[in-house]
Amino acid sequence: MKLLEDKILACGKVLPGEVLKVDNFLNHQIDVALVTELGNAFYEHFSLYNITKILTVESSGIALAFAAAQRFNVPVVFAKKGKHKNVGDNVYTCECFSYTKGTTYDVTVSKDYLTKEDKVLIIDDFLANGAACECLMNIIGQAGAELMGIGIAIEKGFQPGGEKLRRQGIDVQSLAIIESMTGSSVTFRG
């Protein structure tokens, strides 16, 4: 998606460890007009799937999921990170490895908000090794719900997550796929 690629070129910063910083428009300050367009693009791709719920992880997936959910007219459920006292035992839990922090953390979703009737679209800001998506897929499996597809804003195509998920037959729609990035340049898959 050219709009997103142009924004990455204008505002993204490549950090050591193959991390792209997009705080300027996605992860800290949010460019509402841009994120609305990203939500529209997810809707265009997945609109025929009868999605009943959008699932993401706090916090950076929430704005994107919200933008898409407005078009699908379905709720957003965001998985919570860490152990939470106030959700009790009525939760699905999965351990996830954080690409950016290099640590593992627990992810929980209340059983009240994901059931076997749900047809779920996962949305997240980045796809790198695929751990976050696999964790959400595990939670969808625990709920007996159905995964309909995965919408990603920025896929780092030089990391294995996208290929791993597509090889399983999952419809992964990434709005920008980075082919390579170095300190001074970012190139996209054509």
Would you say 90 or 179 has its CB closer to ligand 5GP? 179
Binding flag, residue 126, ligand 5GP (CB under 6 A): yes
Would you say 3 or 14 has its CB closer to ligand 5GP? 14
Binding flag, residue 129, ligand 5GP (CB under 6 A): yes
Q: Which stretch binds ligand 5GP (CB under 6 A): 66-74, 110-118, 119-127, 182-190?
A: 119-127
Contact (CB, 8 A) for 145 and 122: no
Please report how close the Cβ of residue 141 comes to ligand 5GP at its closest, in angstroms: 17
Strand pairing report for 119-127 and 53-57: parallel
| Structure-block tokens of residue 60 | 């950076």
Strand pairing report for 76-81 and 53-57: parallel
Please report how close the Cβ of residue 104 comes to ligand 5GP at its closest, in angstroms: 11
Place of tokens 């006292």: 85
Would you say 74 or 154 has its CB closer to ligand 5GP? 154
d(CA 31, CA 27): 10
d(CA 92, CA 84): 12
# residues near ligand 5GP by CB under 6 A: 19
Task: Return the closest-CA partner of residue 143 out of 93, 73, 74, 89.
Answer: 93
Q: Which residues bind ligand 5GP (CB under 6 A)?
A: 19-22, 27, 57, 60, 99-100, 124-132, 161
